[in-house]
Amino acid sequence: MPRLLTRRDLTDDENRVLRAVCLLALLVLVVPSSYVYLLLPMLTDFGAGSGLAALFRALPSIASLLVIFPAGGLAMRLGPRRVLVASGVLVTVGSAAVLLAPGAIVALVGMVLLSVGRSVLLIIIIALLTAATTREGARHVAFSAYGAVDSAAFVVAPVFAGLLVTVVSWRAVAALWVLSGIGLVVVARTLVSPDGERPAVLGELWTPAAAGVALTAMVQAFFAVDRSGWVSVAVLGWGAVALAALAVLAVLMRRIPAPTVNPAVLRRGGLLLLLLVVVLIPFANLWFYTNAKLQYVYGISALGAAFLAAPAQMASVAGAALMEGFIKAKGITKSGTTMLAAVAATLFAAGLQTGSTPVVVLVVVLCLYGASVAAAEVALATAVMNRSVPGTESTVASFRGAAVGLGGALGVIFMSTVVSIGVHRAHAERSEDDLGRDQLMEVLRAVHEGQSTPEIAGWSQLPESEIEGLAAHETEAMVVGFRSQAIGGAVVTLGAAGVFYVARRRHPDED
């Protein structure tokens, strides 16, 4: 096995890019890590009905998906630094609109702007970090540090945002977003190297635009399936848009000599199989269901749940940071497969919990899950981005971002279906009260609708009235549903570990 590097072995240029990327990631993740603490009190303050609340959940997500592929094309045309600065400006302006919004519509426009800026920025920094770490063994070191920072953002921000909302107001969280946006612009301008002259051959934007529309339509169609079943106007409408966009994309790929979104990239080194693993990871979301269980079953507030989850987030930081040494010792294939198997083991452990399991056990299991999933994501990100060649970093980063978005949508359908089946069966065994079952399913529907954006999927603030209104047998039925999801997620994750192992063994690079 070739000698792999440690963080001390990185060159000055590699370390400079790594510092810039980590700072940018830390600043941009302030928004998703505190999103839910702002959203619900803001909607209450504006008196927003269910329709407007649905727009707040859907439109920012749609906007962020639309720009995943164009982000790579823009970086090719304008240069990473210019795009990063522009993204920081969008986050700042969008956050300021939310902060100063006199009503819901202005706040919604602000949410859309900052979602676009944040989505573009996250694609570009992954591509930038990949392009800067071309030496053998350097990339996993960089992604280990990046993964640790990614997790670190969720250690303090949720608790701090919850305190701000409680002591001041939701606008204080928006002010924090404005400061993070200003920080993004400053870091991008001072720590990222100037782009200089752009190459004569520029990436076109037609194929990224068509791919963005296709991705967005597919994800929204899956969300519509979760809300209204497989046959509905929304599903058929979004499905038709997706098919039309894919048809346009196919025509463009044939007519453009060097398309920016090139399917040939997917055939390099088993990248398609690795992206399948990226899609499967969100099928098991222990963060969401542990948080829901703490609130519904144990009656703990959203802020209290954030405090209890803080140790697990710190474990995630440690897991990502320690993955550097694990990969150095065992290689990407063995370490990645091992950590995915560890994720599955923690999910099986979560599936053994009952309604009377001590809270400390939940926290310990969540800590083990957080550490193992953060470590696995380091290996997976490294393996995916290792499939890029110079000039294709942005394209591969866009495909990775698309896989994350698609996996989130499919994961919602999987989780909600498994939980609902478990709840139905458990409730039928304990009670013949159809009204109580309908009430419980309505509560579950509200919980799952909260997963329509990644921000809410991580931290769901649940209505106190619904928590207090559940009967004992309904609470127990919900626990059975959560256990079903954990076991189902464990099975899927084991499958993902097998796919990762096969993809890496067929196309090894640093092992």
In words, the CATH class of domain 1-194 is mainly alpha
DSSP letters spanning 31-55? HHHHHHHHHHHHHHHHT--HHHHHH
Q: Hey, do 1-194 and 267-511 end up sharing a CATH topology, with the first three levels equal?
A: yes
Q: What is the DSSP string of 250-305?
A: HHHHHHSSS-SS-GGGGGSTTHHHHHHHHHHGGG--HHHHHHHHHHHTT---HHHH
Q: What is the pLDDT of residue 184?
A: 94
The domain limits of the chain are 1-194, 204-259, 267-511
CB atoms within 10 A of CB 91: 30
Which pLDDT does position 266 carry in this prediction? 82
Where does 267-511 sit in CATH, by number? 1.20.1250.20
CA–CA gap between residue 240 and residue 248 (Å, rounded) = 12
Q: Return per-residue pLDDT of the chain as tens, 511 residues.
A: 334 445 566 778 888 888 899 999 989 988 887 887 788 788 888 887 767 777 887 888 889 889 999 998 888 888 888 999 999 999 999 999 999 999 889 999 999 999 999 999 999 999 999 988 887 778 888 888 888 888 887 777 777 777 888 788 889 999 999 999 999 999 999 988 876 655 545 667 888 999 999 999 988 888 787 677 777 888 889 889 999 999 999 999 888 888 888 887 887 778 889 999 999 988 887 877 777 777 777 777 767 777 888 888 899 999 998 998 888 888 889 999 999 999 999 999 988 887 778 888 888 999 999 999 999 999 999 999 988 888 788 889 999 999 988 888 788 777 777 766 766 665 555 555 554 455 555 555 555 444 433 343 333 444 444 444 455 555 666 677 778 888 888 999 999 999 999 988 877 664 4
CA angle 162, 440, 292 (to 5 degrees): 30
Which helix (H) or strand (E) covers residue 326, if one does? helix 302-351
pLDDT score for 92: 96
CB of 88 within 8 A of CB of 280? no
**pLDDT score at 452:** 37
Amino acid 242: pLDDT: 92
| Cβ pair 80, 127 in contact under 8 A | yes
Q: With beta carbons less than 8 A apart as the criterion, state whether 292 and 482 touch.
A: yes
The predicted structure's pLDDT at residue 451: 40
How many helical (H) and strand (E) elements, i.e. helices and strands, does the chain have? 19, 0
Q: Is 470 left (phi over 0), alpha (psi -120 to 50) or beta?
A: beta
